[in-house]
Amino acid sequence: MQRELPLLREMIDAAEQAQILVAGRSASDIDADRRRRDALLWNFTVLGEAATLVSDETGARFPEIPRRSPARLRNRIVHGYWSVDIGVLHTTATDQLGASVQMLRRAATALDTGE
């Protein structure tokens, strides 16, 4: 359990950074900005990698923690980076990560306070 809290915090940070990177920008804006696009890809990769490292015990305790989708997206980015649809990443960051961050924060707080 000692490693779970840092993993959840890493997931929160990566998700929040992805949201910041797309805020107020279109998918085509991001696709045209190499640094921003690479940063977005990196943060989704970190989010997915950390999700794969969350223990099954923690996953069972907090089933609302997103684990499968971030891991699948990470694999898509890492193994098919040349054909990643930035529009999908933009939509994910804009429409889904906010709820994920809230769930991750609740789990992190519970672990941190020993609940």
Quote the pTM value.
Answer: 0.94
Tens-digit pLDDT profile for residues 79-93: 998 889 999 999 999
Range of the domain at 25: 4-113
Q: Are 112 and 1 in contact (CB under 8 A)?
A: no
The total number of structural domains in the chain stands at 1
Question: In this predicted model, what pLDDT tens digit does every residue of 24-55 receive, in sequence order?
Answer: 999 999 999 999 999 999 999 999 999 999 99
Q: Has residue 1 got a pLDDT over 80?
A: no
